């Protein structure tokens, strides 16, 4: 990766955040891969980076003077011999056209920001100083803008430890000028460069197949040691100056003029962190060189476990090695694990919901014999009397409850009574259900409340009815166990039952 590539890697996702149209407060937090337009071959990016580097060289040579496009084209044709002039004009026009950048920064008045809302505490700003190239309107000559000059400078300084010794000299300059607040920022920049190289050394030790990076480290090993020695010596001189009485007096005078509380040990601690990082980096670099010299670097690579598994399948390991692998990789105690039954009991309990939207389908041809003995006894005892009662007049559900057809054997058979309304074949194949459009609400003696948006009625209907005939039968028509015979009547055509929805305050008996 080039210096420009490293700079773009560090800023690409920030540009994605800037251009994101995600609504604040939206619960959809998943991020998809950004679909970027373009040729996806890096051609235009390479042209732009080469042009910016060339303009920076000319900027120093000509003292920021304008340069003709012909000179730029001749330079770029050293890399791209068949480069058309139109491609260069397109790159220049794109880099010279500004784009607005929106950002926020803290309010300059912290006291007022505390009283204001959050949006006012961080004021919104925007800038259009994003053009990297300045182009003359008449001649078309070009040169770098201040933003372009800063971009090229930043790209050339990304993760460059060899030149961080000049950053260490900035600490001495800040102490001489009395600019003590800049010292932590300068030391943090040096720490970033040191930690970047430290991580690179760790990656090389873990993956020795990166021969290009390994050879680069070997070639620059002497320069790295010289740079680390110079940085260390410079920071030791700076820390020694912090202990002088003259500088301590200057620091006390400067601290009194600052709104924040500063202590001299903050500066000493920032310098000490860099010195500790330098010692760790020097030790890692020496260990890497020692491993390379003794040939141990080859045994520190990443293990390909898929290849190892294939080899074990083809050639089984030796018995001693197999025993060692089993002893290390198998569990210590192989025991059967069964869950406790108590925590699973609530999951197994079946509860009837207040409102069920599931459709019940009954296959009358393949119905098995009733498995509920209570339902069987209820039908045997109450069936003949119910058929006699329904033969006189249709029986609605509220009337059946008022007449006490749900009481049987000194108990409650409300669920069994409802089954006769759902599955009319239990009583007589000629029965069907009629629906009244009027709702009903009934409170039983034990406190349960039954409600329905419509009123179902059992009867021998020839066609679907909208309202069942009203019939008030006395409570004595519900005998405890009255024998009877099926009604001798003409078989009526079967009428499909209408939908019925009822709710109960308590769980019904099944």
Place of tokens 């009027």: 438
Q: Give pLDDT tens digits for 194-211.
A: 887 777 777 776 665 555
Residue 326 CB: number of other CB atoms within 10 A?
A: 9
Pairing of strands 407-408, 395-396: unpaired
Structural domains of the chain in order of their starting residue, each with its CATH number: 1-11+40-101+122-157 (1.10.10), 161-298 (no CATH), 372-504 (no CATH)
Q: How many alpha carbons lie under 13 Å from residue 161 in its C-beta half-sphere?
A: 29
User: At 459, phi and psi to the nearest 5?
Assistant: -170, 170
The residues, any chain, with a CB within 8 Å of residue 66's CB and separated by 6 or more, are: 136, 139, 141, 142, 143
Q: Give pLDDT tens digits for 255-292.
A: 888 888 888 888 889 999 999 988 888 888 777 777 76
User: In the numeric block, which tokens belong to residue 344?
Assistant: 């699973």
State the pLDDT at residue 465: 45
The residues, any chain, with a CB within 8 Å of residue 255's CB and separated by 6 or more, are: 261, 262
State the pLDDT at residue 475: 39
| Sign (positive or negative) of CA dihedral 352, 355, 357, 360 | positive
> Are the beta carbons of 119 and 132 closer than 8 angstroms?
no
State the pLDDT at residue 90: 93
State the pLDDT at residue 40: 81
Compute the distance between CA of residue 203 and CA of residue 206 in angstroms, rounded to an integer.
Answer: 5
Q: Please report, in tens digits, the pLDDT of each residue of the chain (510 residues total).
A: 567 787 788 788 888 888 888 888 888 888 877 777 888 888 998 999 999 989 988 888 887 889 999 999 999 999 999 999 999 999 999 999 998 888 888 766 555 545 555 555 678 888 888 899 999 888 889 999 888 888 887 776 655 566 677 788 889 998 998 888 889 888 888 887 888 777 777 777 666 555 556 666 667 777 878 888 888 899 999 999 988 999 999 998 988 888 888 888 888 899 999 999 888 888 887 777 777 666 655 544 456 677 878 887 888 888 888 887 777 776 666 666 666 666 666 655 555 445 556 555 555 555 555 556 778 888 888 888 888 888 888 888 888 888 888 887 767 788 888 888 888 888 888 888 888 888 888 888 777 888 888 888 888 876 444 444 444 444 334 444 333 333 333 333 333 334 333 333 333 433
In 3D, which of 337, 226, 232 has the Cα closest to residue 277? 232
Q: How far is CA 339 from the centre of its chain?
A: 32
Compute the distance between CA of residue 49 and CA of residue 428 in angstroms, rounded to an integer.
Answer: 91
User: In the numeric block, which tokens belong to residue 129?
Assistant: 């100083």
State the pLDDT at residue 333: 64
């Amino acid at each position: 990766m080039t210096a420009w590539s490293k700079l773009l890697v560090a800023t690409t996702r920030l540009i994605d955040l800037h251009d994101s149209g995600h609504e604040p407060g939206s619960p959809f937090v998943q991020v998809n891969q950004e679909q970027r337009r373009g040729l996806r071959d890096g051609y235009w990016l390479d042209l732009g980076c080469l042009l910016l580097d060339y303009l920076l060289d000319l900027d120093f040579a000509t003292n920021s003077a304008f340069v003709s496009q012909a000179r730029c084209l001749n330079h770029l044709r050293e890399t791209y011999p068949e480069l058309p002039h139109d491609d260069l004009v397109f790159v220049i026009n794109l880099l010279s056209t500004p784009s607005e950048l929106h950002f926020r920064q803290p309010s300059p008045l912290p006291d007022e920001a505390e009283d204001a809302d959050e949006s006012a505490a961080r004021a919104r700003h925007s800038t259009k100083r994003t053009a990297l190239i300045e182009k003359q309107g008449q001649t078309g000559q070009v040169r770098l803008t201040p933003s372009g000059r800063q971009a090229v400078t930043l790209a050339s300084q990304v993760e460059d430890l060899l030149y961080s010794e000049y950053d260490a000299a900035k600490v001495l300059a800040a102490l001489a000028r009395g600019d003590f607040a800049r010292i932590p920022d300068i030391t943090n920049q040096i720490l970033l460069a040191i930690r970047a190289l430290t991580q690179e050394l760790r990656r090389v030790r873990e993956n020795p197949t990166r021969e290009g990076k390994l050879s680069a480290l070997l070639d620059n090993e002497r320069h790295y040691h010289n740079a680390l020695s110079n940085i260390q010596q410079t920071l030791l001189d700076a820390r020694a100056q912090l202990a002088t009485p003259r500088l301590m007096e200057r620091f006390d005078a400067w601290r009194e003029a600052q709104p924040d509380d500063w202590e001299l040990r903050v500066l000493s601690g920032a310098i000490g962190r860099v010195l500790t990082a330098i010692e760790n980096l020097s030790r890692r670099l020496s260990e890497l060189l020692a491993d390379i010299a003794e040939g141990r670097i080859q045994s520190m690579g990443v293990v390909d476990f898929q290849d190892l598994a294939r080899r074990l399948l083809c050639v089984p390991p030796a018995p001693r090695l197999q025993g060692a692998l089993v002893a290390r990789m198998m569990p210590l105690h192989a025991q059967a694990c069964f869950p406790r039954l108590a925590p699973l009991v609530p999951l197994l309990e079946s509860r009837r919901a207040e409102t069920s939207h599931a459709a019940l389908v009954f296959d009358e041809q393949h119905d098995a014999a009733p498995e509920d003995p209570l339902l069987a006894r209820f039908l045997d005892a109450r069936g003949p009397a119910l058929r006699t009662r329904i033969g006189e007049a249709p029986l609605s559900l509220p009337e059946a409850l008022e007449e006490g057809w749900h009481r049987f054997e000194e108990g409650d058979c409300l669920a069994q009574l409802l089954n006769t309304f759902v599955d009319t074949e239990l009583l007589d194949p000629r029965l069907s259900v009629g629906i009244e459009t009027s709702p009903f609400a009934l409170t039983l003696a034990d406190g349960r409340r039954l409600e329905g948006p419509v009123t179902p009625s059992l009867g021998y209907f020839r066609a679907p009815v909208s309202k069942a005939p009203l019939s008030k039968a006395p409570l004595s028509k519900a005998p405890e166990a009255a024998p009877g015979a099926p009604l001798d009547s003409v078989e009526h055509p079967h009428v499909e039952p209408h939908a019925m929805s009822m709710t109960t305050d308590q769980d019904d008996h099944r």
